Structure 1
Amino acid sequence: MGLFGKKEKIPDGIRVMYYEGELNEFPVNQPCQILLMEDCLRITKNNPYTEVRLDRNRILSVEVLGKNDYMQRYKGNAESGFRKGDIPTSYYVINYLDKNGDKKQIVFWSASSSALKVMRLRDELANKQKSKSYEI
Structure 2
Amino acid sequence: MKFSSRVWEKKVEITSNPRYNKDRLLWCEGDVMGLFGKKEKIPEKVTVQFYDGDLPGFVCNFPCSLQLTDDAILLTKANPLVEARLDRQRVLSIDIFMQENQYMAKYKGTNITTTKCKSIPKHYYVINYLDKNGDSKHIDFWGVSSETSKMMKIRTKIAENQQSSSYEI
Query: What's the TM-score once normalised by structure 2's chain length?
Result: 0.69
Post-superposition Cα deviations, 1:34-76, rounded to whole Å, max 9, x if no partner, equal 0111100100011111110001000000000021110111112
Matched-pair identity in %: 47
Please provide the CA RMSD for this pair. Answer: 2.1
- 2:158 counterpart (89, 110, 125): 125
- Which residue matches 2:134? 101
The 3 A distance-change label for structure 1 pair 12 and 124 is closer
Structure 1 alignment gaps of length 5 or more? 1-10
User: Matched residue pairs, number?
Assistant: 127
Distance of 1:51 and 1:81 partners within structure 2: 28
User: How many Å apart are 1:91 and its aligned residue?
Assistant: 0.5
Structure 2 alignment gaps of length 5 or more? 1-42
After TM superposition, the structure 1 stretch with the greater mean CA deviation from structure 2, 80-89 or 58-67, is: 80-89
2:46 is aligned with 1:14:
yes
Distance of 1:84 and 1:59 partners within structure 2: 32
In the alignment, is the contact (CA less than 8 A) between 2:90 and 2:131 conserved in 1? yes
The 3 A distance-change label for structure 1 pair 134 and 15 is same
User: How many Å apart are 1:84 and its aligned residue?
Assistant: 6.1
2:76 is aligned with 1:54:
no
Distance of 2:113 and 2:78 partners within structure 1: 34
Post-superposition Cα deviations, 1:13-48, rounded to whole Å, max 9, x if no partner, equal 100000010111011100000011110010001111
Letter aligned with residue 51 of structure 2? Y
User: How many Å apart are 1:85 and its aligned residue?
Assistant: 4.7
User: How many Å apart are 1:134 and its aligned residue?
Assistant: 2.9
- 1:34 counterpart (35, 59, 66): 66
Distance of 1:47 and 1:105 partners within structure 2: 24
Distance of 1:81 and 1:47 partners within structure 2: 26
Greater relative contact order (CA < 8 Å, ≥ 6 in sequence): 1
Rg bigger for which structure? Answer: 2
